[in-house]
Amino acid sequence: MTPQSIEMIMRRVRLLEIKARRLATEVFSGEYQSSFKGSGLDFEDYREYQHGDETRFIDWNVTARKNTPFIRTFREERELAVILAIDVSGSSLYGSERLSKRELAAELAAVLAFSANANGDRVGLLLFANRPILYLPPAKGTRHTLRIIREILAAEPDDPRTNIPAACEHLLHTIKKKCLIFMLSDFIAHDLKKPLGPVSKKHDTVALRITDPLEESLPNVGKVTLTDPETGWQTTLNTNNSALRMNFKKLTKRHNEATNKLFKQLGIDHVKFSTDADYIPQLHRLFKTRANHRK
Assess whether pLDDT exceeds 80 at residue 53.
no
The superfamily CATH assigns to domain 3-35+79-211+269-294 is von Willebrand factor, type A domain (3.40.50.410)
**Nearest residue to 86 (alpha-carbon basis) of 123, 116, 128:** 128
pTM beyond 0.85: the answer is no
Distance CA 11, CA 7 (A): 6
Distance CA 207, CA 136 (A): 20
**What integer pLDDT is reported at residue 294 of this predicted model?**
57
**What mean pLDDT is predicted for residues 191-209?**
95
Domain boundaries, the chain: 3-35+79-211+269-294, 41-77
**What integer pLDDT is reported at residue 10 of this predicted model?**
86
For residue 125, what are the CA distances in angstroms to 32, 106, 239, 270? 19, 11, 40, 19
Average pLDDT, the chain: 89
**Nearest residue to 116 (alpha-carbon basis) of 182, 42, 172, 199:** 182
Per-residue pLDDT tens for 150-183? 999 999 999 999 999 999 999 999 998 899 999 9
Q: Using pLDDT thresholds of 50, 70 and 90, give the confidence band for residue 289.
A: confident
More confident residue, 218 or 30: 218
Per-residue pLDDT tens for 106-138? 999 999 999 999 888 999 999 999 999 999 999
More confident residue, 2 or 87: 87
Q: Using pLDDT thresholds of 50, 70 and 90, give the confidence band for residue 9.
A: confident
Specify the 3-state DSSP secondary structure of 235: strand
Strand partners, 237: 224
**What integer pLDDT is reported at residue 112 of this predicted model?**
95
Consecutive H or E run containing 156 = none
Percent of the chain clearing pLDDT 70 (strictly above)? 93
Q: Using pLDDT thresholds of 50, 70 and 90, give the confidence band for residue 72.
A: confident
Residue type, 160: P
Percent of the chain clearing pLDDT 90 (strictly above)? 65
Find out whether 82 and 137 touch, Cβ atoms under 8 Å: no
Find out whether 151 and 110 touch, Cβ atoms under 8 Å: no
The half-sphere exposure of 135 on its side-chain side, counting CA atoms within 13 A, is 13
Q: Are strands 40-48 and 70-77 parallel, antiparallel or unpaired?
A: antiparallel
More confident residue, 272 or 15: 272
